Chain A
Amino acid sequence: MSHLSAKQVQGFVTQNAIYIVLVLLIAGIAIYDPNFLSITTLRDILMQSSTRAIIALGAAFVLITGGTDLSAGRVVGLTAVISASMLQSQDYPRRFFPDLPDLPLLIPILIAIAAGLLVGLINGIIVSRFSVPPFIATLGMMVIVYGFNSIYFDMEPNQSQPIAGLRSDFNQLGTGYIGPSGPYSIPYIVIIAIMVAFIVWVIFNKTRLGKNMYAIGGNMQAATVSGINVAFNLMIIYAIAGALYGLGGVLEAARTGGATNNYGNMYELDAIAACVVGGVSTSGGIGTVPGVLAGVLIFGVINYGLTFIGVNPYWQLIIKGLIIVAAVAFDIRKYLAKK
């Protein structure tokens, strides 16, 4: 180990750039204000990153196939509104469905996730059966979903009032935790995000669907001539992505205790940014779950940490933008070396 060549070091840095950046970022903020290093900080960052991680993992599915999904944010909004509208407490005066009895918690959640899955499935059909470029297909879907959500949100008697007064069991899902109260408790949504990340990791690495996904993104022709049903796989992948956005939307509503039709606006861009910073290639075929999680955490640390040390929020935007561009410029060097 004492004789690491410059090349090996360079190789290590290039291959693990994303994790090194994350550590440096935390170190930098901690040097500025040592109070940053605390269990409370960690817990807060993980909590804020949980729904974003789930949405980003959904986006990663689509990006790895070489596609893109602009509808993610609006699907989050749709499913937040759907789940919230069915999970208000009986004593709240302005209920979305005044006469709706208390449903088992799982039913509205599953309905909302199914709505996300349906939108994703339609995206997949448009992309794979009608050969509409994913950027356009999901751009259209983004607008359509917002339209439908706004119509639903504007129905009598709600008339575009923010949906609030959520049932405490639903609220608990987003804000509750396991263990003693205080910094050492583990929030449910963090547990959910970890479980989702694990399942997605298994799908990516251990299933035919995952391997097909990498092959489709890496070389679609190769996948086709190897007898893979590319269209079918794409439909499933877009549908899974939609379902994950759906879960993200449900948890956003539960976490914040309400929903409006503008929930999730622009989340798709955050998700795509986290993915590319985490090493997912927008031209397809490349990307890992740990990378995506690291990408999400980098933005979590920036959001939380820079606010923590009092950086002007507008400067925070500029820093975020620079990180997105710099990360990809650096990451792409891994693959460009050929010329």
Chain B
Amino acid sequence: MDQHAFLLEMNHIHKEFPGVKALDDVTLKVRPGTVHALMGENGAGKSTLMKCLFGIYRPDAGEIVLNKEQVTMSSSKDALAHGISMIHQELHPVPFRNVMENIWLGRFPVKRIGPFPFVDEKKMLSDTEKLFADLGMDLNPHAVVRDLSVSKVQSLEIAKAVSYQSKVIIMDEPTSSLTGNEVEQLFAIIRELKSRGVAIIYISHKMEEILRIADDVTIMRDGKLIGTWRATELTTDLIISRMVGRDLTQRFPSRSNTPREPILKVEGLTSPFPQSFQHVAFELRKGEILGIGGLVGAQRTELIEALFGLRAVSAGKVLINGKEVRIKSPKDAKKYKMALLTEERRVTGIIPVLSILENTVIANLSSYQTPFLLLNERKCRADVSRSIEMLRVKTPSMKALIKNLSGGNQQKVLLARWLLTDPDILLLDEPTRGVDVGAKYEIYTIIAELASQGKGIIMISSEMPELLGMSDRIMVMCEGRLSGFLSGPAATEEEIMRLATKHLA
């Protein structure tokens, strides 16, 4: 490629976090007027690289060259001033403010009355309306963001990123919660931007999207650059094998579990909130791994949190071993031998300031209590040390603080926490989110092992390969409703996707 043709170059970027080399000599070169896909598994370093470009992180070494000029991004403000905008993977709306304020945040139009600058609401409104009209979006500028659906919030973020009139737009999973029509709309917007010479850095896990829209593809793995190719030179299989670094067949352990008699039966489970899960019915067998697929907003997390007694239920029945049960709190759920690994490990899983030991025994303290209300520390330590060994948690000592472990090892500790309660039913919500590739495989192995011991496992996953590779059956949800079941080994990504978008307008 011609050296002078690049709009943006990130050369030899290094970034280290305590204990992790997040970026190791990564180079990214983007041509103007193109869509440049950035691919890699979770934890490959794509988002870190983009955060370096957008001034959220500062690289330890390396240079950023924009329009042949070396620049430093010390804040998002800098990045925006240099003509770089970003659609963030984690959506960042201000919940209690309206749509137009969210869009023009940080650059409200101003009119002066005497010496005093006031926000020009009229101009803001007309600018917003014009922006939405240009993009063909149907959003009410006055709507309070908290009341919008996830897909509307994502549209808002797209409009916001476009409104900066940037030369480079980073789109980190921009379609994660968009419907089919909205994706087409986004692609039309992208084509329009391309024709104006804007470069788009596009992060997505959806292969067919990438192959449709991307001009160039850069693939990363474990913080390192694997290479950059023209999209026309690539196929889904090629991309995946370069992302994973080994063949697809090796991504998941072979499983020897056989589903047996039903252990959990759910009938017509309905949330009191109409936008949440409605009339969900399914069955889980002993020794079965039931995957739950769907888009963001499908209410999968809400469903299993309701099963675990964390959320309200207005109708429906739950039967365990054929007997109807009422689970009103996690305490009840534990009594019925259920365990829940939550989606947001850092927020609702680990207790960061406590040690591995304390994090492991926290759900099971009653079994260590001696008659004088003291805890039997020796038994605690023995159990934890056995768990650490069994689950292969990599740590110098069980006294180490859990916050210093990698994501994968934290997840293993949380699994250990629940395994100590000897559950029959495990609810796993995105069990490998934010876990590096190696540790993923180990977690899959643990899940498969638990299933072959006869435990019933429900696994929510947004990663298609994981759903397909690990599930005996896949249940797909859309907008709170059940849209169908697929056989795990026989299903395809397309079938899951079709069911995941079944009820979308």
Check A222 against B54 for contact (C-beta < 8 Å): no
Asked if residues B76 and A226 are in contact (CB atoms below 8 Å), the reply is yes
Select A208's contact among B54, B108, B312, beta carbons within 8 Å.
Answer: B108
Given known pairs A206-B118, A207-B119, the reply for A225 and B96 (CB within 8 Å) is no
Q: Is the CB of A285 within 8 A of B76?
A: no
Query: Could you say which residues of chain A place their CB within 8 Å of the CB of B311?
Result: 339
Contacts of A219 on B, CB cut-off 8 Å? 92-95
A320 and B160 CA atoms in complex are apart in Å by 45
B97 at the A interface (CB under 8 A)? yes
Pick from A207, A218, A227, A229: contact of B97, CB below 8 A: A218
8 contacts between A and B (CB under 8 A): A202-B118, A214-B97, A218-B94, A222-B93, A225-B76, A285-B94, A285-B97, A339-B310
For the complex formed, measure the closest distance between the CB of A226 and the CB atoms of chain B, giving whole angstroms.
Answer: 4
Q: In the assembled complex, which residues on chain B have CB atoms less than 8 Å from the CB atom of A207? A: 116-119
Q: Given the complex, which residues of A lie within 8 Å of B118, measured CB to CB?
A: 202, 206-207
- Give B contacts to A, CB under 8 Å: 54, 56, 75-77, 79-81, 86, 88, 92-97, 101-102, 105-108, 110, 116-119, 121, 160, 273, 310-312
B94 touches A227 (CB 8 A): no
B109 to chain A, nearest CB (A): 10
**CB-based contact A211/B92 at 8 Å:** no
Q: Contacts A206-B118, A208-B117, A339-B311: A228 and B106 contacting too (C-beta < 8 A)?
A: yes
**A214 vs B105: C-alpha distance in the bound complex, in angstroms?**
10
Q: A211-B105, A227-B81 are in contact. List 5 more A-B contacts (CB 8 A).
A: A214-B94, A221-B92, A224-B56, A285-B94, A339-B311
**In contact, B54 and A225 (Cβ under 8 angstroms):** yes
Q: How far is the CB of A177 from chain B (nearest CB, A)?
A: 30
Known: A211-B108, A215-B94, A218-B96. A339 touches B312 (CB 8 A): yes
A265 to B: closest C-beta gap in Å: 34
Q: Which 3 A-B pairs have the closest CB atoms?
A: A226-B106, A222-B92, A218-B94
A207-B118, A208-B110, A227-B106 as given contacts; A286 in contact with B96, CB under 8 Å: yes
Is B94 a contact of A223 with CB atoms below 8 Å?
yes
How many residues does chain A have at the interface if contact means C-beta atoms less than 8 Å apart? Answer: 23
- If A215-B94, A215-B105, A339-B312 touch, whether A225 touches B56 (CB-CB below 8 Å) is yes
Contact with B along A224-240 (1 / 0, CB 8 A): 11111100000000000
Question: B105 contacts A223, CB within 8 Å?
Answer: yes
Q: Digit string of A282-313 for contact with B (CB within 8 Å is 1, else 0)? A: 00011000000000000000000000000000
Given A223-B105, A226-B106, A227-B77: A218 in contact with B117 (beta carbons within 8 A): no
Closest chain B residue to A206, Cβ basis: B118
In the complex, residue of chain A having the shortest beta-carbon distance to the beta carbon of B311: A339
Query: Nearest Cβ in chain B — how far from A264, in angstroms?
Result: 30
Q: How far is the CA of A200 from the CA of B319 in the complex (A)?
A: 57
Q: Given A208-B119, A214-B94, A218-B97, is A224 in contact with B110 using a C-beta cutoff of 8 Å?
A: no
Task: For the complex, give the distance between the alpha carbons of A213 and B266 in Å.
Answer: 46
